[in-house]
Chains A and B, each alone.
Chain A
Amino acid sequence: MNEQGYAIYNRIQDAPKHRQTLRGAVLQLDQINWLTRRAYELGTEFEVPDTVKRDGDGNVETDENGNPIIVKGGVSRADNWAAAIAEFEQTHEIQGNFWVPKKVETTASSRKKAGN
């Protein structure tokens, strides 16, 4: 595992193919890395209980001594891509075939405050 727990790509082509685009539009490298990081940060940790191993017929599987095979549980985690993508889409939009930041509407007062 990487120390930070999520991938950081150096080139777009280093990302898996399905992460290089979103809804068919091309993502830039920093956008891919942002999504990967946010999916991790918004991810879910969950408890997996110990279970008795069963086959698809529903039979309990046993070891060579006839004892039920126990599948060890513990803590696991999953990234939350849906939430990361939802956040991304609040601030980005598709123009042409690319994801770009949404233009922020500025008002006269905000321009004045900013010294414009």
Chain B
Amino acid sequence: MAFLTGSTPAGSSAADPFLNGLRVEFVFGASTFDIFTVDRVGIDQVSGFPSTDNSTSNLSPAATVITNGTAGSYNDTNKRLTIASTAGLSVGDYLLVAHSSVNGGNAFLVRILSIPVSGSVTFETPDGTNPFDGGGNRTNISYQVAWRLALTAGNSPTVSSGSGTQNYIKHRSSDQASNQAQQEESFWIRNKPSNAITLQSQDAEIGAAGNSTNPVLRVLSAWDNRGGVRTLEWANHSTLSRNDFRWSDNGTNERAFTVAELGSGISLNLTAGDGIKAGRLLLRARQGSSVAVGLDITYNLDSTAPTLVMAVYGG
């Protein structure tokens, strides 16, 4: 067997870590579709087997759900993949699939978006595409469930620190003849630095005369992959109970941003009038994630004699 391990671009080193507090998913499976027993999944802070931690009972689907087959079929009209059984599967779970005419015949991961009827799922790849879409109906699709461990980065059994902590994710499984395989990957998690975000600007009141430069927001610019942050949303400041920050179209709702945008700067508007502008920026690793890292921000806007002050608090 050969394992595939789910990963995210952030986390590859102490200098390019995953941000503590974001939701992270580790996905395990076998590209040979022949796992019969998931022996142990764990996360330690040292390399090597056996893993001290045992998180097998927190997998989704349950480790005992090993469903696989070679006769999966895809309906390109209703975009459904039909497999032998969806028993034990839920939205957000992963399947490894392979078809000779898709992805060069190599196995790839898909995430279940819905289970409209028993035995059928709609799906997308982790980057949000459907490689089967538009290719017509398909048969002879090989598949097996893959298992995910979705947790908050920094929560046990993972560990985070100010300088970054290396976590080792370990998976050991067997086929039906007890041939065992194991794989280990490592992943860095780091606490928010004091310069997690920066605001750069002169005045930027909505509708104010003479404004020429909007403030620019940068997120974790020093980290190549921005700590895994992919979406931003404005919410009320946790103690001042208001939000004065706006996207450039004056919306505040959750928006997806590219790694480049997060690092190079996102243009902002502020509510009209000089004074303290307050808000809370929510960082998420995926659109709609139930887990967010919140940062309270205050910003002193004085458009007649700009003296800009910024404060950032972890929250």
Residues A72-95 near B (CB distance < 8 A): 72-83, 85-86
Residues B41-94 near A (CB distance < 8 A): 55, 58, 60-62, 64-73, 82-90
Chain A positions within 8 Å of B64 at CB level: 46, 48
* Known contacts A17-B105, A51-B62; A77/B67 CB under 8 A: yes
Chain B positions within 8 Å of A25 at CB level: none
Query: Is B12 positioned at the interface, with any CB of A under 8 Å from its CB?
Result: no
Chain B positions within 8 Å of A16 at CB level: 98-100, 105-107, 142
Are B84 and A36 neighbours in the complex by a CB distance under 8 Å? Answer: no
Assembled-state Cα–Cα distance A77/B84 (Å):
7
Residues A50-71 near B (CB distance < 8 A): 51, 53-58, 69, 71
Kindly identify which residue among B36, B71, B73, B150 contacts A6, using a CB–CB cutoff of 8 Å.
B71
* Known contacts A16-B100, A57-B152, A82-B36; A76/B140 CB under 8 A: no
Assembled-state Cα–Cα distance A44/B89 (Å):
18
Chain B's closest residue to A50 (CB) is: B88
Are B140 and A57 neighbours in the complex by a CB distance under 8 Å? Answer: no
The digit string for A1-38, where 1 denotes a CB below 8 A from any CB of B, is: 11011111100011111110000000000000000100
Are A14 and B140 neighbours in the complex by a CB distance under 8 Å? Answer: yes
Are B87 and A48 neighbours in the complex by a CB distance under 8 Å? Answer: yes
Are A78 and B106 neighbours in the complex by a CB distance under 8 Å? Answer: no
Chain B positions within 8 Å of A85 at CB level: 177
Are A6 and B90 neighbours in the complex by a CB distance under 8 Å? Answer: no
Chain B's closest residue to A9 (CB) is: B140
Chain A positions within 8 Å of B72 at CB level: 1
Chain B's closest residue to A71 (CB) is: B90
Are A55 and B151 neighbours in the complex by a CB distance under 8 Å? Answer: yes
Chain A's closest residue to B177 (CB) is: A82
Are B140 and A7 neighbours in the complex by a CB distance under 8 Å? Answer: yes
Assembled-state Cα–Cα distance A69/B90 (Å):
10
Are A74 and B87 neighbours in the complex by a CB distance under 8 Å? Answer: yes
Interface centre among A1, A9, A13, A80 (most CB of B within 10 A): A1
Are A73 and B149 neighbours in the complex by a CB distance under 8 Å? Answer: no
The digit string for B18-34, where 1 denotes a CB below 8 A from any CB of A, is: 00000001000001111
Chain B's closest residue to A11 (CB) is: B100
Assembled-state Cα–Cα distance A6/B33 (Å):
14
Assembled-state Cα–Cα distance A48/B187 (Å):
32
Chain A positions within 8 Å of B148 at CB level: 56
Are B151 and A57 neighbours in the complex by a CB distance under 8 Å? Answer: yes
Are A83 and B176 neighbours in the complex by a CB distance under 8 Å? Answer: yes
Interface centre among B64, B67, B68, B176 (most CB of A within 10 A): B176
Interface centre among A9, A71, A75, A86 (most CB of B within 10 A): A71
Assembled-state Cα–Cα distance A86/B104 (Å):
28
* Known contacts A18-B98, A56-B149, A81-B176; A71/B88 CB under 8 A: yes
Chain B positions within 8 Å of A18 at CB level: 31-33, 98, 107
Query: Is B213 positioned at the interface, with any CB of A under 8 Å from its CB?
Result: no
Chain A positions within 8 Å of B88 at CB level: 48, 51, 71-74, 76
Kindly identify which residue among B90, B105, B144, B176 contacts A53, using a CB–CB cutoff of 8 Å.
B90
* Known contacts A2-B71, A13-B100, A56-B149; A76/B84 CB under 8 A: yes
- Beyond known contacts A1-B71, A18-B32, A71-B89: 20 more, CB 8 A cutoff: A6-B69, A9-B140, A16-B98, A16-B142, A18-B98, A44-B176, A46-B64, A48-B65, A56-B148, A56-B150, A71-B90, A72-B87, A73-B87, A77-B67, A78-B66, A79-B34, A80-B36, A81-B34, A81-B175, A82-B176
6 cross-chain pairs, A with B, having the tightest CB-CB distances, nearest first: A74-B87, A82-B177, A56-B151, A7-B70, A76-B85, A48-B88
**A residues lining the B interface (CB < 8 Å):** 1-2, 4-9, 13-19, 36, 39-40, 44, 46, 48, 51, 53-58, 69, 71-83, 85-86
